[in-house]
Amino acid sequence: MSATDVEQVQTGEQVLPFYIVCDESASMAYNGGIDAINNGLPDLHASIASDPLVNDKSRICLISFSDDAEVLCPLAPASDIDALPGVMEKGATSFSAVFRLLKTQIAQDIAMLRADGFQVFRPAVFFISDGEPTDSDWQDSHRELTDKSLNPHAPNIIAFGVDQADGDTIRQVGTIAAFLAEQDVNPGNALKEIMRALTNSIVQSSSSSSPTLVIPPAPDGTISLPLDMMDET
């Protein structure tokens, strides 16, 4: 089955949930990352909301993380969202916090969509970070989120790293794709291209009656990282 397989046989209108996960650690303000994300969010929102088919077939959620993680915009059709809130500078970089939140939130959202009669495709997560996690045990919560033997709602994760992000770490976070900004590229500029890439991915993935996750090509200024295991089932 594809990267957007239906978790079990269902009936009803098909939808593909997208989770945009943004690092709010202090370094994201210094390197221009916060501004780049906030400048890209209105274009992302408008691109989805203005296309009736894309709007119908996708659902978007915005999540941020630093010392903790929080849902900034609950999962909804883009047309139901007045504006996506911006991210802001905070503290550390806890990967565990956001992976735990994603596991809980995705399960709740899928239950809600199914209760409303939708056929839900496997969620996609766009994960953006500029540095190393400050928690040493993040792999445990990542495994609980992504291992389908532990979590039937395990999402497909496309990971993006900029600035001080380590390639090996970003490669471990991504389950179907991972990208790392080149060292000579300004982090803010790299994030502008990343925001364009994930916007195009959502639009292309949701542009048919049966949504299919389209993995973006490497955004300008980034390289694609080879994954040890490409799990698309």
- pTM above the 0.75 mark? yes
pLDDT tens digit at each of 233 positions of the chain: 345 565 444 568 999 999 999 999 888 988 889 999 999 999 999 999 999 999 999 999 999 999 999 999 999 999 999 999 999 989 889 999 999 999 999 999 999 999 999 999 999 999 999 989 999 899 999 999 999 999 999 999 999 999 999 999 999 999 999 999 999 999 999 999 999 999 999 999 999 999 999 999 999 999 999 986 444 43
For domain 14-224, the CATH superfamily is von Willebrand factor, type A domain (3.40.50.410)
Six token digits for residue 160: 């993006």
Spatial neighbors of 211 by CB under 8 A, at least 6 apart, are 4, 14, 15, 16, 57, 58, 121, 205
Boundaries of every domain in the chain = 14-224
